Structures are given as C-alpha cells and as structure tokens.
Amino acid sequence: MLQKLNCTVVIADDGKKVVDFALSSMYDIILMDCQMPVMNGYEATQAIRASEKENNKHIPIIALTADAMDMDRKKCLEAGMDDHISKPIARDALRVVIQRYCTEGSDMEQKHDIGYKGGNK
C-alpha cells in the first residue's frame, strides 16, 4: 500500500531497530506498530522523543494498531506519537495521514521515506 502511494519503505523487525534507524537516518514519517518484540512501540517512541529533545528535531510517528478504542489512541498520544490509525488500514486513511505529516507537504507525487514496522506489508 505504501509503495502504491509512492513511498520509499524501510522495515524494522523490532522496536530497538526502529529506534536505531530513526537515530541514524532521517525519515519523513514513522509508522509504528505498538506490539513489537525487544522494545514495544510505546517504548520505541519514547526513546526517539528523548533523542529528539537533544537534537531539536521531530519525526512524526503514527501508531498502526489493531487497538481502536479511545483509550488506546490516548495511550499512543501520551507515549509521544503524533497520531493513530486502526487496523485494518484503508489506503485513503493512510494517504491522508502521510499528507498531513510529511514535511514535503501533501503532494503524493513527491517520494517520501517511510520507516515502518508492522505485520502486514
């Protein structure tokens, strides 16, 4: 779905790798699975946000999760994520969130580098 939206995708196998990738490269947006091995999405987000305070930068982090309740969204936002999309993910919803948060603006013809960790590709 992301590739059909003209995004370049990098996949991390666990939360620790998400943090490592986020700290070593610049991404337009990170799509974060909340339930990952080694370090969950909440912990990974908090680690990225702590690093950003030192570097004075901000990468939008969007939760991708099967948890769709209001309290789940609140938990994601409290962890430092910028937004929340519930699975199953509709392409239009994904397009909207990428347009909202990518630094290059809302032109989907523009290539966006997306950090993603999730079970469904």
Domains of the chain and CATH, by start? 3-116 (3.40.50.2300)
Report pLDDT for 121.
Answer: 35
Residue 26 has pLDDT above 50, yes or no: yes
Length of the chain: 121
98/76 Cα distance (integer angstroms): 17
Whether 18 contacts 46, CB under 8 Å:
no
Rg of the chain on CA atoms, in Å: 13
pTM score, two decimals?
0.80
List, for residues 92-109, the tens digit of each pLDDT value.
888 888 888 885 543 444
